[in-house]
Amino acid sequence: MREVAIIGVGMTKFGELWDKTIRDIFVEAALNAIKDAGVDRIDSMYVGNMTAGLFIGQEHIGALMADYLGMAPIPAMRVESACASGGMALRAGLMEVCSGMSEIVLVGGVEKMWSGADATYALSTAADQEYECYQGITFPGLYALIARSHMHKYGTTRKQLSMVSVKNHHNGSLNPNAQFGRETTIDAVTNATMVADPLTLMDCSPVSDGGACAIICPMDIAKKYTDTPVKILASGAATDTIALHQRKEITDLNAVKVAGEKAYKMAGLSPKDIDLAEVHDCFTIAEICAIEELGFCEKGKAGEFTEKGETGIEGKMPINTSGGLKSKGHPVGATGVAQAVEIVEQLRGNAGKRQVKDAKIGLTQNMGGSGASSVVHIFGVC
């Protein structure tokens, strides 16, 4: 397959952006990426967005963003895979460049969640409406089931879950774009308002507005635009049953495992070759499960691995140096692309106080629903 690189990235600050519409947010992120790449044209664009229809009564997000970016008549398409929409937009753009159809493609994601709409309802549409939501369950409840099961099966502790949040808030305190750029403590997480036992408010990623974009092109022209292209070494995607109760074992996120295996195979790499990763910590337990499925530690041992500090910026396997979804924020359609933004900044050596030493290869894992969709990308410096 054609070799493809990221030559520019950009994002907005994540948070409650009450003074910005969805188009303002996307255009800001896109212009940041275009400026960073220094391109004077875009051939095609992909926009990851989960549910602007429910949040703000607006579908047709691809054409809308092309229009407001001043890019019409270029082709534009919205991609939706729930909270994995951003990662899937990157994958779709990658395939367009690999196909030879286009050269310079903008891949982005955006979500406007602070709109007055019922966020819990809107997000619940990523679960099985007929067999899950109809019974009244929402995402905190689904992930609480996974957490309780993981604690029971593997001995994962409440303190270990809290340490995921503490670590991610620490990293987020070093990220100027983070929604909650401040430290927290084990006690503060553990004793926060209970949302769905055992998950407290501080185990849950927030409701966020935000956008993130990247410019990709064939490797052979990337050097024309930048001295530090970041190569997309692999893309793996997979699905699982949409309903949690239909899985054999709810602590297994099979789509994450399969997507990871596909990506490792495509890149010719194994988990030990990865210098850092951004994983989908929509809830603290999701980070625990993800790093196990991606092979960064043994199955059932991610709690311990976290407690030992191995997932910190200076640990064996730095996870979510950006602050992750928990602290940086989780504008659902943008998250997958924002993960790539962080990896690019790290591989360029531009991550400031969050910088992982000698980072050469990074991975992103973006997930939809309670794991029914997952997409993994691996990136490397050239």
Indicate which residues carry an active-site annotation: 83, 330
Minimum distance of a second copy from residue 251's CB (angstroms): 17
DSSP code per residue over 225-292: H-S--EEEEEEEEEE--SSGGGSS-TT--HHHHHHHHHHHHHHT--GGG-SEEE---SBHHHHHHHHH
Is 219 near a second copy (CB under 8 A)?
A: no
Minimum distance of a second copy from residue 77's CB (angstroms): 5
Minimum distance of a second copy from residue 318's CB (angstroms): 27
Sheet of 105-112: strands edge to edge? 44-48, 105-112, 209-218, 4-11, 230-239, 373-381, 361-368, 276-278
Coil/strand/helix, residue 7: strand
Is 56 near a second copy (CB under 8 A)?
A: yes
Whole-number Å distance between alpha carbons of 190 and 208: 22
Is 218 near a second copy (CB under 8 A)?
A: no
Coil/strand/helix, residue 86: helix
Report 322-341 residues binding a second copy (CB under 8 A): none
Whole-number Å distance between alpha carbons of 189 and 306: 15
Minimum distance of a second copy from residue 107's CB (angstroms): 13
Q: Determine which residue in the list 104, 242, 286, 337 makes contact with a second copy, applying CB under 8 A.
A: 242
Q: Determine which residue in the list 255, 288, 334, 340 makes contact with a second copy, applying CB under 8 A.
A: 255
Whole-number Å distance between alpha carbons of 67 and 47: 13
Q: Determine which residue in the list 164, 294, 372, 378 makes contact with a second copy, applying CB under 8 A.
A: 372
Other CB atoms within 10 A of residue 298 CB: 11
Minimum distance of a second copy from residue 58's CB (angstroms): 5
Residue that is written with structure tokens 């940041």 in the block? 32
Q: Determine which residue in the list 27, 61, 338, 356 makes contact with a second copy, applying CB under 8 A.
A: 61
Is 71 near a second copy (CB under 8 A)?
A: yes
Interface with a second copy (CB under 8 A)? 1-2, 21, 44, 50-51, 53-54, 56-64, 66-67, 71-82, 88, 91-92, 94-96, 98-101, 121-122, 124-130, 133, 235, 237-243, 246, 254-255, 258-259, 368-369, 372-373, 375
